Protein backbone atom coordinates (compact mmCIF):
# COMPACT_ATOMS: atom_id res chain seq x y z
CA UNK A 1 0.00 0.00 0.00
CA UNK A 2 1.24 3.52 -0.81
CA UNK A 3 0.49 6.39 1.54
CA UNK A 4 0.31 10.13 0.89
CA UNK A 5 0.08 12.47 3.85
CA UNK A 6 -1.17 16.05 3.55
CA UNK A 7 -2.65 18.89 5.56
CA UNK A 8 0.39 20.24 7.34
CA UNK A 9 1.09 23.92 7.62
CA UNK A 10 1.84 26.80 9.96
CA UNK A 11 -0.62 27.54 12.74
CA UNK A 12 -0.56 29.63 15.89
CA UNK A 13 -0.58 28.01 19.28
CA UNK A 14 -4.11 27.06 20.25
CA UNK A 15 -5.12 26.53 16.64
CA UNK A 16 -6.18 23.41 14.78
CA UNK A 17 -5.14 21.38 11.76
CA UNK A 18 -6.46 18.20 10.20
CA UNK A 19 -3.98 15.86 8.59
CA UNK A 20 -5.06 13.37 5.97
CA UNK A 21 -3.37 10.24 4.71
CA UNK A 22 -4.66 8.79 1.47
CA UNK A 23 -3.84 5.19 0.65
CA UNK A 24 -3.69 3.51 -2.71
CA UNK A 25 -4.70 -0.09 -3.22
CA UNK A 26 -7.72 -2.12 -2.26
CA UNK A 27 -6.34 -3.50 0.99
CA UNK A 28 -6.45 -0.33 3.08
CA UNK A 29 -9.21 -1.66 5.32
CA UNK A 30 -7.04 -4.61 6.35
CA UNK A 31 -4.37 -2.40 7.93
CA UNK A 32 -4.31 -0.81 11.35
CA UNK A 33 -3.01 2.72 10.85
CA UNK A 34 -0.78 4.98 12.88
CA UNK A 35 0.48 8.54 12.99
CA UNK A 36 4.00 9.33 14.09
CA UNK A 37 5.99 12.54 14.30
CA UNK A 38 9.61 13.56 14.29
CA UNK A 39 10.88 16.89 15.51
CA UNK A 40 14.35 18.15 14.50
CA UNK A 41 17.04 16.31 16.43
CA UNK A 42 14.54 13.88 17.94
CA UNK A 43 13.61 10.28 17.34
CA UNK A 44 10.40 9.45 15.53
CA UNK A 45 7.67 9.04 18.11
CA UNK A 46 4.25 7.44 18.21
CA UNK A 47 1.28 9.81 18.21
CA UNK A 48 -1.88 7.76 17.61
CA UNK A 49 -3.17 4.54 16.11
CA UNK A 50 -6.49 3.10 15.02
CA UNK A 51 -7.76 -0.40 14.34
CA UNK A 52 -8.73 -1.72 10.92
CA UNK A 53 -12.41 -0.89 11.32
CA UNK A 54 -11.91 2.13 13.52
CA UNK A 55 -12.48 -0.10 16.53
CA UNK A 56 -9.95 1.02 19.03
CA UNK A 57 -7.93 4.20 19.13
CA UNK A 58 -4.73 4.82 21.06
CA UNK A 59 -2.81 8.00 21.82
CA UNK A 60 0.43 9.04 23.37
CA UNK A 61 -0.20 10.85 26.64
CA UNK A 62 0.92 14.24 25.38
CA UNK A 63 -1.87 14.45 22.79
CA UNK A 64 -4.76 12.81 24.63
CA UNK A 65 -7.78 15.07 24.69
CA UNK A 66 -6.37 17.27 21.91
CA UNK A 67 -5.86 14.94 18.93
CA UNK A 68 -8.35 12.53 17.35
CA UNK A 69 -7.51 9.79 14.88
CA UNK A 70 -10.21 8.49 12.57
CA UNK A 71 -10.52 6.65 9.29
CA UNK A 72 -12.87 6.33 6.36
CA UNK A 73 -12.30 2.97 4.70
CA UNK A 74 -14.61 3.87 1.81
CA UNK A 75 -12.24 6.73 0.98
CA UNK A 76 -9.02 4.84 1.86
CA UNK A 77 -8.10 7.68 4.17
CA UNK A 78 -7.01 8.12 7.76
CA UNK A 79 -7.18 11.47 9.53
CA UNK A 80 -5.57 13.17 12.48
CA UNK A 81 -7.57 16.08 13.86
CA UNK A 82 -5.25 18.24 15.97
CA UNK A 83 -6.74 20.85 18.29
CA UNK A 84 -5.23 23.13 20.92
CA UNK A 85 -1.89 22.87 19.20
CA UNK A 86 1.26 23.71 21.13
CA UNK A 87 4.72 24.73 19.89
CA UNK A 88 6.03 21.36 21.08
CA UNK A 89 3.74 19.69 18.52
CA UNK A 90 5.97 21.09 15.78
CA UNK A 91 7.29 18.16 13.75
CA UNK A 92 7.05 16.25 10.52
CA UNK A 93 4.04 13.98 10.81
CA UNK A 94 4.01 10.57 9.13
CA UNK A 95 1.22 8.09 8.59
CA UNK A 96 1.96 4.40 8.57
CA UNK A 97 0.22 1.09 7.96
CA UNK A 98 0.99 -1.94 10.08
CA UNK A 99 -0.19 -5.42 10.96
CA UNK A 100 -1.26 -4.67 14.49
CA UNK A 101 -2.19 -1.60 16.49
CA UNK A 102 0.96 -0.91 18.41
CA UNK A 103 3.41 1.78 19.41
CA UNK A 104 6.83 0.84 18.00
CA UNK A 105 7.51 2.34 14.60
CA UNK A 106 9.34 -0.85 13.63
CA UNK A 107 6.02 -2.71 13.55
CA UNK A 108 4.68 -0.56 10.72
CA UNK A 109 5.49 -1.73 7.22
CA UNK A 110 4.40 1.15 5.01
CA UNK A 111 5.06 4.85 5.46
CA UNK A 112 3.91 8.08 3.89
CA UNK A 113 6.32 10.84 3.00
CA UNK A 114 5.51 13.13 5.91
CA UNK A 115 3.86 16.52 6.22
CA UNK A 116 5.33 19.40 8.23
CA UNK A 117 3.36 20.97 11.05
CA UNK A 118 4.74 24.17 12.54
CA UNK A 119 3.09 25.70 15.60
CA UNK A 120 4.16 29.24 16.40
CA UNK A 121 3.97 30.70 19.88
> In this structure, how many other beta carbons lie within 10 angstroms of the beta carbon of residue 12?
10
Residue 26 has pLDDT above 80, yes or no: no
Q: Which pLDDT tens digit goes with each residue over 35-54?
A: 999 999 999 999 999 999 99
Q: How far apart are CA 62 and CA 100, in angstroms?
A: 22
Count of other CB atoms within 10 angstroms of residue 11:
17
Q: In angstroms, rounded to a whole number, what is the distance separating the alpha carbons of residues 39 and 6?
A: 17
Distance CA(35)–CA(73), nearest Å, equals 16
Local structure of residue 101 (DSSP, 8 states): -
pLDDT tens digits for 89-101? 999 999 999 988 8
Cα dist from 85 to 11, 28, 45, 59, 67, whole Å: 8, 29, 17, 15, 9
Amino acid sequence: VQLQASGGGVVQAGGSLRLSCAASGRSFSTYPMGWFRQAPGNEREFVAAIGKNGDGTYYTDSVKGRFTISRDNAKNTVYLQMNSLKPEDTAVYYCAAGRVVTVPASAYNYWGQGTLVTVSS
